[in-house]
């Protein structure tokens, strides 16, 4: 089982410093971590740095081992990354696209159980009926679900998802988060998800990292990270975190700070 830790990560885009120095204690296998913060705070940049897609100073370590920028083959054996904006579709059926993703990290020829694993992950995401559809025929939400299936079927040690719920309806948002939590625990993965819906983070994740201007404001259990003070400091809103009738925490926004 792999742990993921970050030591003094610094990232620049030209002269602009996006992340001025960030440390994250080891993220543990079996836990879903929410990466939170307002637009432009560095969430996607940090996720890409972990995936090895952009250069950074500092170290990203998997069980104490550091992979350099561009060491894609080594990282691919450990990490699956799903970007917020999916790449253009290729002329493949859904089943074929997930099978290709499954085999991309296999050593040598495809293993005999690949087809069954593809069908299983499709069924668990409730898109088994799309297996023989071409990717170009899918809606944005359906393509998002296929992207999640492509990531899960690779059985990564580290799963990085950038706003995977953005194109999904409420039913599929709940279904996907429930499945991701189950799969993370069952497989002992480290899962990091960029989220904007703080209520989803409160209900479906085990840990939260809250960023502002590329710096870590708070980390820990979501209920400890998301509170009246951090809502005001990071998001500029006057809000409350209160239990609903079933005991789950939820956020109520009363207005803007200073308004």
122 and 134 belong to one structural domain: yes
53 and 95 belong to one structural domain: no
Among 153, 184, 208, where does a domain finish?
153
Cα dihedral: 43, 48, 49, 52 (round 10) = 170
- Whether residue 248 lies inside any domain: the answer is no
Pair 21, 211: CB distance under 8 Å? no
Question: What's the CA gap between 30 and 33, in Å, rounded?
Answer: 10
161 and 55 belong to one structural domain: yes
- Whether residue 15 lies inside any domain: the answer is yes
162 and 74 belong to one structural domain: yes
179 and 211 belong to one structural domain: yes
Residue 113's pLDDT is what? Answer: 61
6 and 73 belong to one structural domain: yes
Residue 99's nearest CA partner among 83, 81, 79, 119 is: 119
Question: What's the CA gap between 117 and 128, in Å, rounded?
Answer: 12
Residue 105's pLDDT is what? Answer: 65
Cα dihedral: 59, 61, 64, 66 (round 10) = -70
65 and 108 belong to one structural domain: no
Per-residue pLDDT of the chain (259 residues; tens, 9 = 90+): 689 999 999 999 988 999 999 999 999 999 999 999 999 999 999 999 999 889 899 999 988 888 766 667 767 778 999 998 887 778 899 999 999 888 876 544 345 568 888 999 999 999 999 999 999 999 999 999 999 999 999 989 999 999 999 999 999 999 999 999 999 999 999 999 999 999 999 999 999 999 999 999 999 999 999 999 999 999 999 999 999 999 999 999 999 998 7
pTM of the model: 0.93
- Whether residue 35 lies inside any domain: the answer is yes
- Whether residue 241 lies inside any domain: the answer is no
Tokens representing 99 are 């099978």
- CATH (domain of 187): 3.40.50.300
- How many domains does the chain divide into? 2
Question: What's the CA gap between 129 and 153, in Å, rounded?
Answer: 17
71 and 194 belong to one structural domain: yes
29 and 69 belong to one structural domain: yes
39 and 141 belong to one structural domain: no
- Whether residue 238 lies inside any domain: the answer is no
Residue 62's domain comprises 1-78+156-231
70 and 2 belong to one structural domain: yes
225 and 199 belong to one structural domain: yes
């Amino acid at each position: 089982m792999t742990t993921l830790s970050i030591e003094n990560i610094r990232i620049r885009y030209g002269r602009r410093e996006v992340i001025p120095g960030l440390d994250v204690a080891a993220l543990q296998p079996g836990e879903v971590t929410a990466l939170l913060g307002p637009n432009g705070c560095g969430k996607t940049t940090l996720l890409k740095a972990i995936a090895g897609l952009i250069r950074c100073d500092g170290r990203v370590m998997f069980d104490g081992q550091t992979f350099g920028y561009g060491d894609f083959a080594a990282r691919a054996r450990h990490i699956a990354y799903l970007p917020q904006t999916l790449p253009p579709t290729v002329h493949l059926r859904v089943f074929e696209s997930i099978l290709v993703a499954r085999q991309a990290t296999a050593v040598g020829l495809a293993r005999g159980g690949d087809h069954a694993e593809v069908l299983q992950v499709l069924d668990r995401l409730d898109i088994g009926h799309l297996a023989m559809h071409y990717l170009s025929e899918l809606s944005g939400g359906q393509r998002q679900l296929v992207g999640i299936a492509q990531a899960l079927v690779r059985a990564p040690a580290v799963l990085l998802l950038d706003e995977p719920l953005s194109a999904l309806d409420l039913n599929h948002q709940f279904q996907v988060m429930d499945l991701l939590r189950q799969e993370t625990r069952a497989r002992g993965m480290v899962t990091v998800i960029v989220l904007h819906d703080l209520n989803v983070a409160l209900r479906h994740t085990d840990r939260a990292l809250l960023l502002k201007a590329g710096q870590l404001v708070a980390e820990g259990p979501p209920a400890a990270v998301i509170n009246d003070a951090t809502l005001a400091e990071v998001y500029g809103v006057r809000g409350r975190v209160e239990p609903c009738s079933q005991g789950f925490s939820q956020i109520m926004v009363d207005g803007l700070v200073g308004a």
